[in-house]
Structure 1
Amino acid sequence: MNGLYDEFRIAVHSVWNRRWLALAVAWGLCLVGWLVVALIPNSYESQARVSAEMQSILSDKVGVDARERKKNMERIQETLTSTINLEKVVRGTALNQSVATDRELAGKVEMLRKNITIKSEKDNLFEITATSSASNLSDAQNAVLARDIVQKMIDIFVEENLSGDRAETSQTIKFLDAQLAQREKELQEAEQKRVQFETENLGLLPGIGSISQRIAAARAELGQIESQLSQASGSLAALNGQLAGTPSSISTPGFRSPSAGGARGQLAQAQGKLASARARGWTDSHPDIVAMQNEIAALRVQAAKQPASGGGGYRTPNPAYSSLQSMRAERQASVAALQARKNALQADMTELVSKQSMEPGVAAEMSRINRDHEVLKSQYDKLLTDREQIKLRGQVESETDSVKFLVIDPPSSPRSPAAPNRPLLLAMVLFAGIGGGVGAAFALGHLQTSYPTAAKLEKASGLPVIGSVSQILTNTQRGLRKKKLRVFYGTSVALFGVFGMLMIVEFIQRGMVA
Structure 2
Amino acid sequence: MEELFDEMRAALWTIWHRRWIAIAVAWGVCLLGWLVVAMIPNSYESKARIYVQVDDVLSEQLGIAGDGREEIRRVRQTLASNVNLERVIQGTRLGEGIVERGEMDNAIAELAQQVAVESEEENLFAIKAMVGKSNLSDAENAVLARNVVQKLLDIFREEHIAGNRAGIDQAMAELDSQLEERKAELEAAEERRLSFEAQYPELIGGSQTLSTKVQQARTELRDVEADLAAAQSALAAIEGQLSGTPRTIMGPGGATGPRGALMQAQAQLAELRSRGLRDEHPDVVATSRQVDLLAKQAAPSAAEDAGGTPNPAYTSLIAIRADRQAAVESLQARRAALQSSVAGLMASQASEPAVAAEANRISRDYDVLRKNYEALLQNREEIRTRGDVVDETSQYKFDLIDPPVVPQKPAAPNRPLLLLGVLVVGLGAGAGVAWGLGHLRSTFATPHKLERAFDLPVIGAISLTLSDAARALERRRLKQFAGACAGLVGMFVILLAIEVVSVGTVA
> Which bracket does the TM-score occupy, shorter chain normalised?
0.5 to 0.7
Contact 1:43 1:142 survives alignment (8 Å): yes
**Residue 446 of structure 1 pairs with residue 439 of structure 2:** yes
Distance 1:5 1:65, change over 3 A: same
Work out which of the two has the higher radius of gyration on C-alpha atoms and give 1 or 2.
1
Offset at residue 158 of structure 1 (A): 2.7
The verdict on how the C-alpha distance between 1:88 and 1:458 changes in structure 2, with shifts beyond 3 A counting, is: closer
Paired position in structure 1 for 2:306: none
Q: How does 1:452-471 map to 2 (within 5 A)?
A: 452-471=445-464
1:394 is aligned, of 381, 387, 390, to 387
- The separation in 2 between residues aligned to 1:141 and 1:105, in whole angstroms, is 21
* Equivalent AA in structure 1 for residue 150 of structure 2: Q
Give the aligned partner of residue 128 of structure 2. 129
TM-score by length of 2: 0.55
* Distance change in 2, residues 1:5/1:106 (3 Å): closer
Conservation of the 8 A alpha-carbon contact between 2:118 and 2:125: yes
CA distances 1:345-377 after superposition (whole Å, capped 9, x unpaired): xxxxxxxxxxxxxxxxxxxxxxxxxxxxxxxxx
Q: Distance in 2 between matches of 1:173 and 1:99?
A: 40
Q: For 1:107, give the aligned amino acid.
A: N
In the TM superposition, what whole-angstrom CA distance separates every residue of 1:438-480 from its partner, at most 9, and x where no partner exists? Answer: 1222232233222233444345444444443333333443333
Helix, strand or coil at the partner of 2:126: strand
Corresponding residue SS for 2:409: coil
**1:396·1:402 contact (CA, 8 Å) conserved in 2?**
no
**What amino acid sits opposite 1:160 in the alignment?**
E
Q: Does 1:426 align with 2:419?
A: yes
* Cα offset, 1:155, TM superposition: 2.4
Distance 1:459 1:104, change over 3 A: closer
SS at match of 1:398: coil
Contact 1:162 1:398 in 2 (8 A): no
Out of 396, 407, 416, the residue aligned to residue 400 of structure 2 is 407
Partner Cα separation in structure 2 for residue 178 and residue 405 of structure 1 = 33
Q: Is the 8 A contact 1:59 1:397 kept in 2?
A: no
Matched, 1:511 2:504: yes
Distance 1:507 1:147 in 2: 23
Seen in structure 2, the aligned counterparts of structure 1 residues 455 and 91 have a Cα distance that, compared at 3 Å, is closer
Q: Identify if the C-alpha distance between structure 1 residues 471 and 65 changes in structure 2 by more than 3 Å, giving closer, same or farther.
A: same
2:96 maps to 97
1:465–1:106 distance in 2 versus 1, CA, 3 Å: closer
User: 1:455–1:103: structure 2 CA closer, same or farther, 3 Å change rule?
Assistant: closer
SS in 2 for 1:117: strand
Matches within 5 A, 1:488-499: 488-499=481-492
Deviation at 1:424, TM superposition (A): 1.0
C-alpha distance 466-71 of structure 1, shift in aligned 2 (>3 A):
closer
CA distance change for structure 1 residues 406 and 386 in 2, over 3 Å: closer, same or farther? Answer: closer
Say whether the 8 Å CA contact 2:56–2:65 is kept in structure 1.
no
- CA separation of 1:120 and 1:462: change in aligned 2, threshold 3 A: closer
For structure 1, the 5+ residue unaligned runs are 187-381
Q: Deviations over 1:399-436 (max 9, x none)?
A: 22542212233335433333322211111111111112
User: 2:40 aligns to what?
Assistant: 40
Give the C-alpha shift of residue 132 in structure 1. 0.9
Deviation at 1:4, TM superposition (A): 4.9
What amino acid sits opposite 1:157 in the alignment?
F
Residue identity opposite 2:43 in structure 1: S
What is the deviation of 1:98? 3.8
Q: Distance in 2 between matches of 1:34 and 1:386?
A: 64
Shifted more, 460-469 versus 390-399: the winner is: 460-469
The 1:442/1:179 distance shift into structure 2, 3 A limit, reads: closer
SS at match of 1:513: coil
Residues 194-209 of structure 1: pairs in structure 2 closer than 5 A:
none
**1:188-237 superposed Cα distances (whole Å, 9 cap, x missing partner):** xxxxxxxxxxxxxxxxxxxxxxxxxxxxxxxxxxxxxxxxxxxxxxxxxx
Give the AA of the match of 2:103.
E
What is the total number of aligned residue pairs between the two structures?
318
- Aligned 8 A contact 1:48 1:409 in 2: yes
Letter in 2 for 1:42: N
2: distance between equivalents of 1:455 and 1:75? Answer: 73
Matches of 1:13 and 1:387 in 2, distance apart? Answer: 87
Paired residue type of 1:172: A
Give 1:52 deviation, angstroms: 0.5
Please give the per-residue CA displacement for 1:78-132, whole angstroms capped at 9, x wherever unaligned.
Answer: 2212333222212332223343454433332222222111123444222212111
Q: What are the equivalent positions in structure 2 for 1:242-261 lying under 5 Å apart?
A: none
Secondary structure in 2 matching 1:127: strand
Q: Offset at 1:65?
A: 1.7
State the one-letter code of the partner of 1:146: A
Quote the Cα distance in structure 2 between the aligned partners of 1:128 and 1:400: 24
Residues 114 and 7 of structure 1: CA distance in aligned 2, closer, same or farther (over 3 Å): closer
Q: Which residue of 1 aligns with 2:261?
A: none
CA distance in 1, matches of 2:155, 2:384: 24
Closer, same or farther in 2 for the Cα pair 1:154/1:498, shift >3 Å? same
CA distance in 1, matches of 2:43, 2:137: 11
Aligned to 1:17: 17
Q: Check the 8 A contact 1:55/1:401 in 2, yes or no.
A: no
Q: Distance in 2 between matches of 1:507 and 1:127?
A: 29
Instruction: Answer yes or no: is the 8 Å Cα contact 1:43–1:420 preserved in 2.
Output: yes
**Equivalent-residue separation in structure 1 for 2:77 and 2:17 (angstroms):** 65
CA distance in 2, matches of 1:179, 1:467: 104
Q: What's 1:85 paired with?
A: 84
- 2:465 and 2:150 map into 1 onto residues whose CA distance is 75
Counterparts of 1:88-487 in structure 2, within 5 Å, are 88-173=87-172, 390-400=383-393, 402-411=395-404, 413-487=406-480
C-alpha deviation, 1:136, in angstroms? 1.4
Contact 2:45 2:410 in 1 (8 A): yes
Q: Partner amino acid for 2:495?
A: L
Q: Please say if 1:58 is aligned against 2:58.
A: yes
CA deviation profile, 1:265-318 (whole Å, cap 9, x unmatched): xxxxxxxxxxxxxxxxxxxxxxxxxxxxxxxxxxxxxxxxxxxxxxxxxxxxxx
* Separation (CA, whole Å) in 1 of partners of 2:439 and 2:178: 90
After superposition, the Cα gap between the structure-2 partners of 1:112 and 1:2, relative to the gap in structure 1 and judged at 3 Å, is closer
2:330 maps to what in 1? none
Question: How many percent of aligned residue pairs carry the same amino acid?
Answer: 47
Aligned equivalents of 2:484, 2:404: Cα separation in 1? 47
Question: What is the CA–CA distance in structure 2 between the aligned matches of 1:70 and 1:18, rounded to whole Å?
Answer: 68
- 2:502 corresponds to 1:502: no
Give the aligned partner of residue 250 of structure 1.
Answer: none
Q: 1:157/1:394 Cα in 2 relative to 1: closer, same or farther (>3 Å)?
A: same
Partner-residue secondary structure (3-state), 2:156: helix
Structure 2: distance between partners of 1:502 and 1:403:
51
Q: CA deviation at 1:39?
A: 3.0
Offset, 1:24: 1.7
Q: Which amino acid in the other structure matches residue 422 of structure 1?
A: R
Q: CA deviation at 1:73?
A: 2.6
* Structure 2 counterpart of 1:507, one-letter code: V
